[in-house]
């Protein structure tokens, strides 16, 4: 297989997404950590072109994996200040095991606790 040039999917002056041969690179030009959320419509729409599946880097750091479906990015990814994360596709969506669905209310204290301890799962449905 030949080498593929990265393809720009999204850029807003601070955050950039590039499709690479192995997956997707997320670039943060800000001086602070960036939390990339699926709630950002522009990012979610831009990632719809990626192959559906699970993407991970090899760092072992929290929030360094992504779930991409037909709807685009479905999970939160943290990108370090003035840095980049290269997420490589590791498997299909079917490789993700569903543990539990917790129907938590909009102002539920448990929901806020889960958010504060950064224990949100691969779909991060919070709209805080």
* pLDDT tens for each residue of 26-43: 999 999 999 998 888 999
Residue matched to tokens 């209310």: 105
Give the CA dihedral 71, 74, 78, 81, nearest 10 degrees: 10
pLDDT of amino acid 15:
97
Residue 96: exposure state from Cβ atoms within 10 A (0-12, 13-18, ≥19): middle
Query: Domain 7-116's class?
Result: mainly beta
Report how far apart the first and last C-alpha atoms of the chain are (Å, whole number).
Answer: 44
Residue matched to tokens 């699926």: 38
Q: Which two tokens stand for residue 14?
A: 């601070």
* pLDDT tens for each residue of 75-103: 889 999 999 999 999 999 888 776 555 55
pTM score: 0.75
pLDDT of amino acid 2:
47
pLDDT of amino acid 98:
64
């Amino acid at each position: 297989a030949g080498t593929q040039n990265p393809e720009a999917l999204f850029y807003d002056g601070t955050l950039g997404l590039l499709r690479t041969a192995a997956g997707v690179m997320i670039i943060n030009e800000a001086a602070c950590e960036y939390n990339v959320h699926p709630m950002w419509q522009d990012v979610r729409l831009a990632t719809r072109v990626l192959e559906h599946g699970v993407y991970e880097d090899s760092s072992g750091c929290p929030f360094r994996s992504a779930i991409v479906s037909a709807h685009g990015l479905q999970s939160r990814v943290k990108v370090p200040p003035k840095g980049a994360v290269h997420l490589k596709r590791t498997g299909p969506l079917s490789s993700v095991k569903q543990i539990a669905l917790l129907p938590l209310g909009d102002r539920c204290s448990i929901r806020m606790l889960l958010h504060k301890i950064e224990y949100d799962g691969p779909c991060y449905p919070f709209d805080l």
